[in-house]
């Protein structure tokens, strides 16, 4: 099996069926929310690095991978601190949500970085464009376990090769750009 792009962890955590549409069927609908996210990411995704006055070196668009987890992807930003700490930073559209999908995606980057560098990565951060806030994320045991379980579940789903059920959390469908492809209400009404 090919390594899974770690950005899909976010999609799977939001809704496994959405992950399936995007990863297995290459379906994507660009609504305003998605387009804003793409444009914001383009600004952050110019590769290279720069140094800050406090001695922190900022690397942009850093490729990461993990043999152990069979995932691959990019960090939007990677801070390299003078004390040797690496801190991955992810840019996200909107504000911090109630779900852990963004945190799991960032944690997957940390798992990759730990394997690549041999350093323990304790903390990362997510910058939300909607609120202009930077939120620290601690990679504790719970988040690591949750992230590992998501990766395992994605790989099992791909190996089985069947479309996944609708989420039972209807509020997620309202904001989903794939709603008109997925038709969750219609499917519910027509299901025996």
Which residues in this chain contact ligand SF4 in the complex, by CB under 6 A? 15, 17-18, 21, 166-167, 172-173, 176, 178-179, 182, 184
191 Cβ neighbours under 8 A, 6+ residues apart: none
Give whichever of 13 and 151 is closer to ligand SF4, judged by the CB atom. Answer: 13
Task: For residues 81 and 183, give the distance between their C-alpha atoms in angstroms, rounded to a whole number.
Answer: 47
Give whichever of 25 and 117 is closer to ligand SF4, judged by the CB atom. Answer: 25
Least Å from the CB of residue 69 to ligand SF4 = 24
Contacts for 130-133: CB closer than 8 Å, 24+ residues apart: 130/93, 130/94, 130/95, 131/94, 131/95, 131/96, 133/95, 133/96
Least Å from the CB of residue 62 to ligand SF4 = 30
* SS3 call for 116: helix
Give whichever of 6 and 178 is closer to ligand SF4, judged by the CB atom. Answer: 178
Give whichever of 23 and 74 is closer to ligand SF4, judged by the CB atom. Answer: 23
Phi, psi of 56 (to 5 degrees): -80, 125
Tell the residue number behind the tokens 């590769």, with chain if given: 47
Least Å from the CB of residue 31 to ligand SF4 = 12
Give whichever of 78 and 166 is closer to ligand SF4, judged by the CB atom. Answer: 166
Tell the residue number behind the tokens 């004390």, with chain if given: 83
């Amino acid at each position: 099996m090919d390594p899974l792009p770690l950005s899909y962890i976010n999609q799977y955590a939001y809704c496994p069926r959405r992950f399936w549409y995007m990863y297995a069927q290459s379906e994507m609908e660009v609504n305003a929310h998605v387009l804003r996210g793409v444009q914001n990411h383009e600004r952050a995704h110019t590769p290279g690095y720069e140094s800050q006055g406090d001695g922190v070196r900022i690397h942009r668009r850093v490729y990461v991978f993990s043999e152990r987890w069979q995932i691959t992807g990019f960090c939007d930003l990677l801070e390299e601190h003078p004390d040797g700490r690496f801190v991955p930073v992810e840019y996200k559209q909107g504000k911090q949500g109630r779900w852990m999908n963004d945190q799991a995606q960032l944690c997957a980057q940390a798992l990759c970085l730990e394997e690549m560098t041999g350093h323990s990565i304790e903390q990362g951060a997510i910058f939300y464009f909607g609120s202009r806030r930077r939120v620290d994320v601690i990679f504790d045991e719970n988040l690591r376990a949750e992230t590992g379980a998501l990766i395992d579940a994605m790989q099992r789903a791909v190996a089985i090769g069947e479309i996944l059920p609708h989420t039972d959390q209807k509020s997620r469908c309202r904001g989903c750009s794939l709603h008109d492809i997925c038709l969750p209400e219609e499917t519910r009404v027509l299901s025996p």
